[in-house]
Amino acid sequence: ICFIPADNPNYRRKGIMELEIAIAKENTGITYLTSGKRKLELGQNKQLHLGEIADEKTMNLCYNACNVMAFPSLAENFSNTLVEATVTGCPVVCFNAGGNNEIINTNESGVVLEINNYTEMIKYLINYSTSDEQRRKLSKTNTENTYSIEKIIEKFISLYKK
């Protein structure tokens, strides 16, 4: 299952429309859990659309229910959505936009791709959705390497030394 949070899928800088078109062109064999103002047009692919999600508990359930999250944003600052996904252990496939590469570490918490490379994005979404071993490895590695208390303390000490 691939989660696509799309609060406003018509907002171009979020990259949802382009991902929607790319997914619709092929039968990926995975199920998409989507959220937002409208159901996405994903061709023959299975989709469960939840509508708009306003509470943290439901978002947390979405991250935990999915094998991977697609985040095709073309312009970002420091995305809370990415942080939330990685904390729950949900691997993320995103583009190298804004602060995305500060949150997602390739081969640790997902993969950061060249902007607008929707073909590669779909390839990784399929891989993470179908490979339990790969997904478990990413989830465990990310949680241990990024969000353990030891790592957080190291980062604070490093920051104070600057």
- At 14-65, the pLDDT tens digits run 889 999 999 999 999 999 999 998 999 999 999 999 999 988 899 888 888 8
pLDDT value for 123: 94
Residues 6+ apart with CB under 8 A from 81: 5, 71
Task: Give the Å distances, CA to CA, from 58 to 53, 61, 66, 97.
Answer: 7, 5, 13, 26
Please check the confidence at residue 120 and state whether its pLDDT lies above 80.
Answer: yes
For residues 72 and 96, the answer to whether their CB atoms sit within 8 Å is no
Q: Per-residue pLDDT averaged across 78-107, rounded?
A: 87
Q: Say which amino acid occupies 139.
A: S
d(CA 68, CA 37): 21
Residues 6+ apart with CB under 8 A from 120: 113, 114
Whole-model pTM above 0.85? no
d(CA 156, CA 162): 10
Neighbours of 60 (CB within 10 A): 13
